[in-house]
A and B are shown apart, each in its own frame.
Chain A
Amino acid sequence: MLQITEGSHAVAEAVKLCRPQVVSAYPITPQTHIVERLAEMVADGDLNGEYICVESEFSALSSCVGASAAGSRVYSATTSQGLAFMAEVVFNAAGMRLPIVMTIANRALGAPLNIWNDQQDSIFLRDSGWMQIYGEDAQEAMDLHFIAYKLAERHDVLLPCFVCLDGFIVSHTFEPVDIPSQKEIDEFLPAFNPLHRLDAKNPMSFGMYATPDCYQEFRYEINAAMIRAKAAYREIAAEFKAKFGRDYTGLVEGYRLEDAETAIVAMGSICGTAKDAIDEMRDAGEKVGLLKIRSFRPFPSEEVRTALKGVKNIAVIEKNISIGSRMLGAVGLEVKDAVYKDSPNIFSYVGGLGGRDIRKRDIKQIVQWAKEGRNDCFFGLREELLK
């Protein structure tokens, strides 16, 4: 049944339904409402797990690593500077193949200090070995948590996963959400069955020293697991769809792409605004569509190529900047790699950084720019502030 709830509280409900045994997090805007609610749930006895109050994000994820290695289902959430602070442990968690799920309420990185949304934080950990999936609205952000645990814990995957939602834009908005029952989630998501765990009777170590004669093979294995995660994701999302009716089966998702001459490519909440803009442009006779990237890691290059086949102009909306890259945006680089043989006109348009609002008119302008072949650039830039 649909009910109005805040995005953050929908995520907290989802986490509770996943029955984590350990939650360890440090509050930081705009993730705060998620962990506050989880702390309440533990204090009230509604969530039968341990909430570890830590003094920093570094400790938050470190304690998750320990608890996960001991065989527990664990959860954390953070954003921006908090994620940057835990970066060392982010790599370690992936290297130890621990299926931790962590929500990222996407936010800009300083300096200058900025608490508002863009996607620079999760994207900067692109190469860490964590999966990264992005929800467009509260419902999708919530549902992706159920899928994320099942995916991360699969023995042929065993990789940690970021579930990303746009800070404030999704985390602080009240909207209708359908919250599944505990029984339904218990049927969908069985208890964590670790392949390896710390056990005094059968001692083993995680994350030990690896010399040049074996380190490279660990990296190979992480990448191989990430590639396997694509098929695993599809299977699990299909199972989710069969049970709950909501369809997240694609690592990408097209919107009105049939016969489209120009395609917007985007991740997260901006896809909603883009869909409304596309409907208006379609009504005016423009052949425009959207390709939503749901999974940034693993990056679904084959799906992107198939979905964009026949599209003349591709405009990637980037809520990040890969500073020093000619293409400007990290998503555009991936898209270009996927489709360069089919389409010459692939552009990155960077905007919405640090919470700058993106409107339908911005989307329409970007479509126009792509049709004109305007090169990779910023949109919504306040020229008067530039020296």
Chain B
Amino acid sequence: MTAAELIAMAAFKSNVYSQAFPAFGVERRGAPVQAFVRFDDRKIRLRSQIYEPDYIIVQDITLLKDVNVFAGLKEGGIAVINTEKDVENAPAGVKILKINATKIALEVLGLPIENTTLMGAFAAATGEISLDALKASLNERFAGPLAEKNIRAAETAYNIVKGEM
């Protein structure tokens, strides 16, 4: 949920309306959870869950065994996945973007918390949020050295993805 919230904040700072919400009632750190983000040029009124995403971010690859994370992903959609391994069962017409976010998070933050790293990868892969907006939202959410470290983690992932594109 933190990643969804930060992406919504960054998108808003990129001058679009945004909305972020968890799959209600089960949001806890460490448990398998879903969270959703919408962007739009106008105020967002729609309140249903998202069934046909343009993009997905998978934070934990072990979920691929149990959950069809690609369900509903639109043709031409992008999946940003925290892994270096091959991704099986990816549907045709979907762009898979792999990044070892856990490794980057461990190196930069010292903790396997990949939210901000994946956010950097998402920004680079989709172009939906700018690096500046991303940094601004991290500066708003975190203070002092924690903000700096998270920005570094996000920027590292951003540059890796940009370099591969």
Contact = CB atoms under 8 A, between A and B. Distances in A.
A binds B: yes
Contact of B48 (A2, A6, A172, A273): A273
A270 B27 CA distance: 22
A176 B25 CA distance: 22
Given A116-B24, A175-B19, A275 B8 contact: no
B21 A176 contact: no
Given A4-B12, A173-B19, A358 B48 contact: yes
Nearest to B49: A357
Contacts of A2: 12
Interface in B41-68: 43-49, 51
Interface in B1-22: 4-5, 8-9, 12, 17-22
Contact of A168 (B8, B25, B43, B45): B25
Interface residues of A, number: 29
Nearest to A115: B25
A172 B24 contact: yes
Contacts, number: 73
B130 to A, nearest CB: 16
A355 interface: yes
A270 B48 CA distance: 9
Contacts of A270: 47
A116 B49 CA distance: 14
B19 to A, nearest CB: 5
A173 B25 contact: no
Given A4-B8, A116-B24, A355-B24, A176 B18 contact: yes
Contact of B17 (A173, A176, A273, A360): A176
Nearest to A2: B12
A103 interface: no
B47 A169 contact: yes
Given A4-B18, A269-B47, A276-B46, A116 B25 contact: yes
A273 B18 contact: no
A356 to B, nearest CB: 11
B25 A29 contact: yes
Contacts of B22: 172
Contacts of A176: 12, 17-18, 43
Interface in B118-162: none
Contacts of A241: none
Interface string A315-332: 000000000000000000
Contact of A273 (B5, B12, B21, B47): B47
A272 interface: yes
A273 B45 contact: yes
A174 interface: yes
A275 B48 contact: no
A359 interface: yes
A168 B46 contact: no
A273 B5 CA distance: 21
A319 to B, nearest CB: 12
Contacts of A358: 47-48
B9 A4 contact: yes
Nearest to B137: A4
Given A4-B9, A174-B8, A174-B20, A355 B46 contact: no
A58 B88 CA distance: 54
Contact of A174 (B5, B45, B48): B5
Given A4-B12, A355-B25, A273 B20 contact: no
B8 A359 contact: no
15 contacts: A4-B9, A30-B25, A115-B25, A116-B24, A169-B24, A172-B24, A174-B20, A175-B18, A176-B18, A270-B47, A272-B45, A273-B47, A276-B46, A357-B49, A360-B48
Given A168-B25, A169-B21, 19 more contacts: A4-B20, A116-B24, A168-B21, A168-B24, A169-B47, A173-B19, A173-B21, A174-B8, A175-B8, A175-B18, A176-B43, A269-B47, A272-B44, A273-B46, A273-B48, A275-B45, A357-B48, A358-B47, A358-B48
The 5 closest A-B pairs by CB, nearest first: A272-B45, A168-B24, A173-B21, A174-B20, A359-B48
